[in-house]
Structure 1
Amino acid sequence: MIRAKVYVLNKYFEGLPKKTDFKIIEEDLPPLKHEEFLAEALYLSVDPYMRTAAARLKIGTPFIGYQVARITDSKSKEYPVGTFIVGAFGWRTHTVSNGKSNVSAYPGVWKVPDLKKLPLSLAIGMVGRVGNTAYFGLLEICKPKHGETVVVSAAGGAVGSHVGQIAKIKGCKVIGITSTDYKGEWLVNELGFDCFVNYKKPNFLDTLKKCTPEGIDCYFDNVGGEISSTVMSIMNQYGRISVCGSISCYNATAPVLAPIVQISIVSLELKLEGYIVHRWADRWQEGILQNLTWIQEGKLKYKETVTEGFENTVSAFIEMLEGKNIGKSIVKI
């Protein structure tokens, strides 16, 4: 009998999550039924969306999240022993599954494509849900054109750094908004961004204007709040805004107030659209395979912040929310 270690939600978050908001339990897994398999986690994903999604969970239920896993036992022809998969199994070491999602049109399990010599962890990063979030969110909503200027907030993170690189592939000028000069220099020197702005420094608006003398055509918004209001105020007419998240308010304990954005939206005739990446579930493999091709061609570069050990998953989650990661934050089991 296999015993799985599982993180469960112990308490709803108040501000920044704490280790005591979680607890690890152990559970005995049932014997496999027909068409089921046993998956052993190799890498766990920690992502910003988990911070807000936790409010919809019941206390005592397993915490959510994607993982890269290896099938160690199977009664399924489709998922034989030795297959590497990505599963929305949550933060747990072992899972019994039939490979089907519990939610309609929700990609709950898929096989890891042939990554050749690339690390398996990319399957929960650039070659997974994170990569598809960048791919579809930028190309389907912002629809950047060659020569346009694209601004990306939280550009040093997993999605933001990926978005900026896709925009460069499409021939755009790209400016990244970051929380540190170190992250900004990485964006420019390693990933090919044209400019970066550290929002924690004085004169944020003036610096942003210097980086965007032709104005801003597309804005990929990961943060919301005052930063996004400022970006929208200097966009070009008919600018497009893809809203992926609002990290600036995730840990707030009271409603966050920001400058009015409607004036900019109306006067500049901006298009603003939020999204959840599962909208493109029917095109899931398109995004995965295109991102993989760009990596293999050297057009996309990746960086991972890796935390070792299942017991350190919460620490990795908290540090990611504090912006201490560069690129994708993952936990190696």
Structure 2
Amino acid sequence: MTEAPNLLGAFLRARREPVTPEQAGIPVTGVRRTPGLRREEVAMPAGISADYYLRPERGRDRRPSLQVLESPARVLRLDENLRDYLLGLAAEKPRRSSTTPTRGPPTRRNWPCSAPRWSPRPGRRLCRRNRLPCSMTRVNETVRVSAPSRRTSKVVFLIFAVVFAAVAGAVFALRRMLLMSAPRCMAGHWHGCLDTDNGVVLMTLVGLPIALLGAWVLARVRRTPLDTTAWRLSLAEVGMVYGTVPMVWLTMMPGPAAGLVDGRVSLIPLQDLVTMGTLGIAGNLVLFAALGFFAPIRFAALASAPRILALGAACSTVVEVAQYAFRLDRVSSVDDVLVNATGALLAGLASHHWWRKN
């Protein structure tokens, strides 16, 4: 028994050579010995690690996940037929060739396109003899591929449930305060709406369906038949922005003596924590909670507790410096940075189950 040839690795190597770094958007520096892309130059734009790409090309992983191959297929500029062929190679079960020829009907090898094999794209089939896409685009038996997968569907449903519960609770708790600014906001007036806490919260809640619609459109644009992470990444991107910008807007709203008094700084830890009160501590915890929750879901580089804590502290420091520089009649306190970073860390730990791995 001998090991079957690595058709998947040979195909990946053959498709790397025709693609130039300029076509992949990679700057060229120095003298290149390879005619096409290097392995790491394929992995980097694809958003995967070089080791993940190296395994199937060298034959260490004969059946990689189809999601791992979708992104390199875009970098290698494969058309629909070549992408089907690539995914078909990954779907093939590993077979060992024997030194003794197998017995079978002599006419079987001459069939140009026999019974359809499994194809990663519904409505297409692959030839049994050479596993290339057949010319027929419709088959009697359509293979259904669940996209998004059940796990991704559960994640999306859970995020929607959390968002709905949070919005419902906020509306019920702040219904009287929100109704005070509703007439000004609905009339389109800046003063009395977006320059008040009630108005900003109201407009954030009103714009939530639009943000969810934007996430849906973004997921549909980037989604492929086998891409189960489109919804997760789209929700993470929209959630980071939409959950953080209104909170930063509230924090940067000027006080009554803005521009008249110099900025105040408090660098002694835990000194201002006692005077914040419950509402102040809760607001500081929530300030970068959306960023801490969604950032590790979107970026694998941030999928660790120390990095989330550093991200929250860095963003909070920028806000505190801006408050001091613009003389907004607010106190730039180190306690705000500590509480903001803690809120981002707690939110990030809450989303640990969905952190991006690669």
Same topology, TM > 0.5:
no
> More strand per residue: 1 or 2?
1
By percentage of residues, which structure has more helix?
2
| TM-score normalised by structure 2 residue count | 0.26
- Structure 1 length as normaliser, TM-score? 0.28
